[in-house]
A and B are shown apart, each in its own frame.
Chain A
Amino acid sequence: MAQPIPGTADEIRALVPAALEAYEFTRDNVLRDGVVDPGLKELCFRYLAEDPETLDLSRFEGRERVALEWAHAIAWDSSLADDVLWERLHALFSEQELVELGCAIGFELGQQHWRRTVGLPARD
């Protein structure tokens, strides 16, 4: 299907200035900056977009592995966020990091789904 509204994601968001402003704040302060290593968040965002290089979780360990498992639970099966997963999350992340990482995954998950409804790939 041709793009129903032509343009980049930001050009489409700009039809509603408050939406673009909000996205830019989130991108600059939560998705690409903050208390959690941006590289770790980027890995989770690629996993949400089903980047083939991220899908085999056995390739990862430590903070990366548990962050990806949480991303999976957030996006696809919340029952996987059980006592065991939370124990591992708390062992490897501070509470501030958990707030930021989880919400960042939620923000990115929503934006990826929205992008796909306007004929764009999940990520640039």
Chain B
Amino acid sequence: MARISYVDPQSLTDPELVEYLENARRFGTPRPETQAIRSNVPAVAKAFSRPWESIFRRGGVEHALKELCRVYVSKTVECRYCGSQRSLRAREQGLAETDYEELLEFERSDQFTARQKAALLYTSMLVWNPEGADERVWAQLREHFSDEEIVELGQFVQLTYGQQSVIRTWDVGHREFLADTTAGLAPERVEG
């Protein structure tokens, strides 16, 4: 079980928090468990969920590309809980399970476009070597993205990287909370 208690859903009276938890139940990504932990402190739940909605789910950069970056972060920092989630919206936009398979070898893979590779390279630098985002990295980014899109991408990646880093320490397991829902789980986890 998780290292921190899940909030009692019946105790939530703020409509904004109730909506975030309901969205997690219906759509996943984020799944209900992490939202239920954040909801113990309303300001924390809002600090995470507002940019998640405005920058990850919406925004100028296509959602499916940001989903690839999210799962890349999960795989590279080994957050198994986060890495076994899939965005339903990205699936609707055409992202397939096979698109996730070569993420860690994206630079050598034929699976990804130059635009996707530029975004993934920046994501990798932000996580592992921020000062490595040098002229070469920025030149690749600017071939495919406006400055506004690069800032949106960076702000999304930093959000998911920081939160996945703390989630790794929570020992959260899928279906420990609102166990009836499998929304947003990767195929191999739905059977579990």
Query: B43–A29 contact, CB under 8 A?
Result: yes
Query: B130–A116 contact, CB under 8 A?
Result: yes
B97 within 8 A of A: no
Query: A81–B151 contact, CB under 8 A?
Result: no
Complex contacts, A95 vs chain B, CB 8 Å: 4-5, 40
Query: B162–A4 contact, CB under 8 A?
Result: no
Bound-state Cα–Cα, A95 to B168, Å: 17
Secondary structure of the B side of the interface? helix
Query: B157–A99 contact, CB under 8 A?
Result: no
Known contacts A113-B126, A117-B133; decide if A13 and B151 are in contact (CB<8 Å).
Answer: yes
A84 within 8 A of B: no
Query: A30–B43 contact, CB under 8 A?
Result: yes
Contact partner of A96 (CB less than 8 A), chosen from B40, B51, B158, is: B40
Query: A109–B165 contact, CB under 8 A?
Result: yes
A78 within 8 A of B: yes
**Total interface residues in chain B, CB < 8 Å:** 50
Bound-state Cα–Cα, A83 to B163, Å: 21
B104 within 8 A of A: no
Query: A1–B48 contact, CB under 8 A?
Result: no
Known contacts A99-B40, A99-B44; decide if A74 and B166 are in contact (CB<8 Å).
Answer: yes
Type the 1/0 row for B38-50, where 1 means its CB is closer than 8 Å to any CB of A. 1011011011101
The smallest C-beta distance from B5 to any residue of chain A, in angstroms, reads 6
Contact partner of A73 (CB less than 8 A), chosen from B5, B135, B169, is: B169
B161 within 8 A of A: yes
Those of B36-64 within 8 Å (CB) of chain A = 37-38, 40-41, 43-44, 46-48, 50-51, 54-55, 58-60
B contact residues vs A (CB 8 Å cutoff): 3-5, 37-38, 40-41, 43-44, 46-48, 50-51, 54-55, 58-60, 122, 125-127, 130-131, 133-135, 138, 147-148, 150-152, 154-155, 157-170
A contact residues vs B (CB 8 Å cutoff): 1, 4-5, 12-13, 15-16, 18-19, 21-23, 25-26, 29-30, 33-35, 70, 73-75, 78, 81, 86, 95-96, 98-100, 102-111, 113-118
